[in-house]
Amino acid sequence: MTRPVLALIASAGGGVEHWFVPELARPLAEEGWRLAVTVTPTAARWLEPLVPDLEALTDLPVRSTSRLPGEPRPHPPADAFVLAPGTANSVAKLALGIADNQALTVLCEGLGRRAPMVVLVRANDDQLAHPAFDGHLAVLRTAGVRLVSTGGPSAVRRELTAARRP
């Protein structure tokens, strides 16, 4: 049986370097997901020491840059998407359709397909109070994105399970 593919995307925030592998990636792989991990450029620097652990969980490379023209796609099409953590910057770009790095390109394509998507929102109080932020969250909710603001990685896994129910 083919495992479903999860596009697991990380941006740089919320202590991602401490919990991304042990609390999110590894449990998702154990739950049967084939992980296609893509990280933002800054997250790539933060998570660099963890790349071998991430690649051991899947048979796919961890991506942070786009492929060159003519190169094959390194990840198969995803059945679902998770952005964890979703910084204020990444959430705003996703809501506006700004795909200025590989991680946001993957997410924007998933949102365009209306595939199941969960975002773990990680922003500080000042970012949450920005006049545009509530609008960004509203756009994502309207598109069917499940937003998680409390509960961390375990809440993301619960929402992902709920998002995939018929």
Domains of the chain: 5-65+76-163 (3.40.50.1950)
What pLDDT, in 10s, does the model give residues 112-151?
Answer: 999 999 999 999 999 999 999 999 999 999 999 999 999 8
What DSSP designation does 50 have? G
List the beta bridge partners of residue 146. Answer: 118
What percentage of the chain has pLDDT greater than the value 90?
88
Ordered strands of the 146-148 beta sheet: 34-39, 5-10, 80-87, 117-122, 146-148
Q: Is this prediction's pTM over 0.85?
A: yes
Predicted pLDDT of residue 165 = 64
Burial bucket for residue 166 (CB in 10 Å: 0-12, 13-18, 19+): exposed
Q: Is 5 helix (H, G, I), strand (E, B) or coil?
A: strand
Burial bucket for residue 98 (CB in 10 Å: 0-12, 13-18, 19+): middle
The amino acid that residue 34 corresponds to is R
| Angle at which helices 133-142 and 88-96 cross, to 10° | 50
The amino acid that residue 36 corresponds to is A
Structure tokens at 156: 């993301």
**34-61 mean pLDDT:** 92
Q: What is the dihedral of CA 35, 152, 159, 57, to 10 degrees?
A: 10
| Angle at which helices 88-96 and 102-113 cross, to 10° | 50
